Each structure stands twice: as structure tokens, then as C-alpha cells.
Amino acid sequence: MTRYVLMVEDSAAFEPWREMARAALQCAIPPEAIDWRIRGGETDLFGQLADTDDGMEALTAAPFAKTVTLRASCIALLRDMLCHSDPGRFALAYRIAWRVQGNPHLLDVATDADIAKARIMVRQNRQDCHKMMAFVRFREQPVQSDEGEGRRRFLAWFEPQHHILERIAPFFSKRFTDMDWMILTPRGSICWNGKDLAYSAEACEQPELDDGFGDLWNTYYASTFNPARVRTKAMRREMPGRYWKDLPETRLIPQLVSGAEARVRAMAEQELQPAPAFHERLRSREERPVEFLPDLPESLDGLAARIRTCTSCPLHCSATQAVVGEGLANARIMVVGEQPGDQEDLAGRPFVGPAGQLLHEALGEAGVDRSALYLTNAVKHFRFRLQGRRRIHQNPHAEHVTACRPWLEQEIALIRPKLIVSLGATALRALDGPGMAMSDVRGTSWTVGTGENAVRRLALAHPSWLLRLGEGAQGEGERQRFVEGLARLRNFPDQSGL
């Protein structure tokens, strides 16, 4: 059997190997007939470098036997595994490419020895990429006088275990796009100048790196070191020795670890110290008792001014502003919602967002004039959570409802409505307490009080709930039910049964 010696570079360059492998496969040369050697990396029996391209010349002269095709998944696997540093990776890659010709589903056989070894190589390459992303430390370099002022320059040294530079370079260019940098390694270098990303396979020597911030970083690291959470096994597993020597804080770690047990004992024996003063201020703001102020204003304008300066619960810290009620000062019907939404919080007016627009449309269909109503909310500040740039509505808690109850009660006392419509469960609880369940009273009406103080009550769903139901059959049915409930306001108080 004729044997072929194919020379390859010790790098992650996929295309040169691919060209040789394609030529060998087309000539139907089996894997055992090819000796893959790394250029400049092996010697013969007499110590001479085995550096020849005779094998490739013989391949080009061999007779063409067949057409070769590889699936994209196979090419991706071979490309990834050739980033490994194992000298036998080229022979393994060719053996997989050879076997795939007769078994297209070979990559799906997880128990196959060749496939299992290739996937282990790929996993180790990914782990090496993760370590590089975690442990590369840039040091700022002075700008040369002839370069003038401009972008800052940084230099880093790292020792990867495998040929991952080309693979990891896009991450660093996106992560540190606003500065010029270069990462030097024994396996090559990558460089970014703000526009172009350059890669070189030429090995680099470790430079002297000192930007003057090493001592400052070590001081910070030592001050934040928690002796109670020392896990030496995890430290060795996540940060192997080859990475330690290039990190400035590693000279402190043995001292900090050796004294961790004594520091933990000292922390346990230390007497409790009072919290800083600002902690007390924050706690008092969060746990401030609700003040039922006896001197509530006797006018809606005065009440609105007091509501806008309310700090009775933590919601005022994140909301844009308090949203006060609006409408006729002597309205016979008051509508109470849950809390302001995002648009209400920005505008400072109730029911102007999507739920408010639905309410306005439903009132129009029911034949009810919105301008004849007084609209307000049980809670005056917007409660939300951030999701990116969006503010997502969150239901107010009981303490928020309790904190705002004096304002709602004073609004009722000043307007003296004959009918109060609660929209949603939060408004119902604010008016009638936690003992009233929305599922039991929705769509029904009842009377609270007697004589001149008697007030009719009507419980309806909140428009935001109708929006969440969408435009399906259930949503349309509930919306019609909501319109029918509002239609009962049209002839109040003359309509019988309300």
C-alpha cells in the first residue's frame, strides 16, 4: 500500500486541511494510508525535521476516483475540532470524513469512538474560550507621541490551551469595540483598531505588562474577599494553575485562603454593630406607618395637591408622579379603578392608556357620558417592574391600598356620589375590605349605608383584564358583559334594580 505524508500547520486553519482531505477522498485513499504530520513539529529516526510536501504532490498525481460530499453538520464538527491542540486531530478528522462517505448518519452515533472523541475536543475548545473570556486582563499602554490623542490602547497576555483565537476574536471586538487592543498568546495574536480585526498565527513572547493599577486592584480584591465562602476545590477547578500566574491577585490568594478560617471565627465572635445611619432611613421609608391625617383638605384642589406630595408608601420612589382623580366635583357617579398605568403615570391623568381607551369606547357604546363621571384610582402611584426599557404593570400590595385609603375616602366625602362603580378586585378591596370576592359580586349591585348616607355600589371587571383576554370568543363575550354593566349607569338613579 502506498503511504502518503501530508504536512499541515499546527493551527486552527481549516481550509488547508480541507483541500488535502478532499484530494485524498477523491482518490479513495483510506485513512491508514495517510500520515498527517505537523510542519516543523516532528523528527525522523535521525533527528531530522520531517518537513516535506511530497505527499500532496503524489495526491495530485493519483487517479481521480469519485466525487466527495459532506453535510454542513459534518463540516461544522470538523472545523470546531481542528481548533484543538491534539496532534492527532487531523488524522481523526480525516477518518471521520472517510467513514461518513459510507455512513451518512455516523454523527448521530454518540457511542462511536471517533465521534465521541471529536465531541470531547469540541467541548474542551468551548471551555477554553470561556476561560479566555473570563481571565483576560487588559493593561492600558501609553499612546505614542506621534499618534496624537485619540482612542486608548490596551494590551493583554493569555495562554490558551487550544487554537481558539480566530474563534474568540469576534467576542472581544464586540465587547471592547470602543478601544484599541491587542491580545498576545503563544499561539498567535488578535488585534482590534476600531475598524478591522486582525489575526496572526505567529507565536508571541510574553511582554512586561504594568499599567500602575496592580496594587490598587489587589487592595480592592483583598477588601472584597469573603473568607466564609472560600471553596478551594472550586477555585482550582475553575481557575487552573496555567491561568493563575497571569492574574495580579493570585499572589494574594494563598495568604487570604490560609487566614480564612481565623477570619471566619473572628467574624462569628464579633459583637453585632448597629447598621449605618442611611440603613435606618431606608428602613423607615419602607416601613413607615400609614398616617390617617386628621387635617385632610376640604377641597378637591387642595386634596390633589396633598396627594401629589404623598410619601406614605415606597411607590412614590419609582413612580413619575401621583395621579389624582378628575371629573365633575358634584358627580353623582364615581368610577374607581386599580392604579395608574404607564401612560397615566407619565401624563398625570387617570384612564388615558389602553385600558382607559377601552373604558371610553365601552361608555360610548353604553350611552354614558364620561364627562358626567368622576374617575379615580384606589392607589395613586404606578407600581411596575422593569423589563429592558419597558415598565411592566404589577398589582399593588395590600399596604399600598391601605396607604392610599385616606385619599380615596376623602374624595368620596367631598364628591358625595350616589353610585360608586369599582373596576377590578383591587378597587373592590379598597372600598369594601378583603372579605369581598370579585368572583362573587361582579356584575351585581348593592347599597352601603342608610338614609341620606346611602350609596349604591356596582362591581365590574377592570378594562385591563378585558385587554388581556384578547379578541377571541371569551374576550368578546366579557367585553359585551362589561358594556351591559356600564349601560346600567345611563338612567341612574331612575333605572329600577340598580
Could you say which of 131, 163, 194 is where a domain stops? 131
H/E element holding 278? helix 277-286
Query: Is the residue at 243 inside a domain?
Result: yes
**Amino acid at residue number 91:** A
Which contiguous run of DSSP H or E holds residue 364? helix 354-366
pLDDT at 68: 81
Measured between alpha carbons, how far is 428 from 460 in angstroms, rounded to an integer? 9
Q: What is the pLDDT, as a whole number, of residue 249?
A: 77
The answer to whether residues 336 and 363 belong to one domain is yes
Q: Write down the residue that cell numbers 417592574 correspond to.
A: 385
Q: Are residues 443 and 397 in the same domain?
A: yes
Domain that holds residue 201: 153-209
Same domain, 93 and 53: yes
Shared domain check, 450 and 311: yes
Say how far apart CA 154 and CA 190 lie, in whole Å. 12
Residue 359 sits in the same domain as residue 474: yes
CATH code (residue 360): 3.40.470.10
Q: Are residues 406 and 321 in the same domain?
A: yes
- Measured CA to CA, the distance from residue 261 to residue 227 in angstroms comes to 7
The closest alpha carbon to 376, from 437, 433, 426, belongs to 426
104/161 same-domain check: no
Integer Cα distance of 429 and 459 in angstroms = 11
State how far the Cα of 339 lies from the Cα of 345, in Å rounded to an integer.
9
The answer to whether 228 and 266 are in contact (CB under 8 A) is no
Task: Output the CA–CA distances (angstroms, integers) from residue 411 to 273, 328, 375, 422, 452, in the order listed.
Answer: 46, 12, 10, 14, 17
- DSSP character for 43? B
- State residue 55's pLDDT score: 63
pLDDT at res. 453: 84
Structural domain includes residue 290 = no
Instruction: State CA 42 to chain mean position distance.
Output: 48
148 lies in a domain? no
Could you give the CA distance from residue 198 to residue 177 in angstroms, rounded to a whole number? 14
Residue 137 lies inside a defined structural domain of this protein: no
pLDDT for the residue numbered 48: 45
469 and 370 in a single domain? The answer is yes
373, 462: one domain: yes
Show pLDDT as tens, one digit a residue, over the chain (498 residues). Answer: 678 888 888 887 899 999 999 989 988 899 999 999 988 765 444 444 444 455 666 666 666 667 788 889 999 999 999 999 999 999 999 999 999 998 989 999 999 999 999 999 999 999 999 989 988 888 888 776 555 556 788 999 999 999 999 999 999 999 998 889 999 999 999 999 988 999 998 999 988 877 777 788 888 888 888 888 888 777 777 766 667 677 777 778 888 888 888 888 887 887 777 777 766 666 665 555 444 455 788 899 999 999 999 988 999 999 999 999 999 999 999 999 999 999 999 999 999 999 999 999 999 999 999 999 999 999 999 999 998 889 999 999 999 999 999 999 999 999 999 999 999 999 999 998 877 888 889 999 999 888 888 899 999 999 999 999 988 899 999 999 999 999 999 878 754 446
Same domain, 92 and 237: no
- Residues 185 and 320 grouped into a single domain: no
Same domain, 176 and 228: no
In a domain, 146, yes or no: no
Q: Is the pTM for the entire model greater than 0.75?
A: no
SS3 assignment, position 182: strand
Total domains in the chain come to 4
Is 166 within a domain? yes
Torsions phi, psi for 296 (to 5 deg): -65, 145
Residue 140 · residue 217 · CB < 8 Å: no
Partners of residue 327 on adjacent β-strands: 374
Query: What are the distances in angstroms from CA 392 to CA 98, 212, 380?
Result: 56, 45, 17
Q: Per the domain annotation, does 393 fall within a domain?
A: yes
* Sole residue written with cell 493569555: 158
Task: Count CB atoms within 10 A of the CB of residue 404.
Answer: 25
Considering the domain boundaries, does residue 357 fall inside one?
A: yes
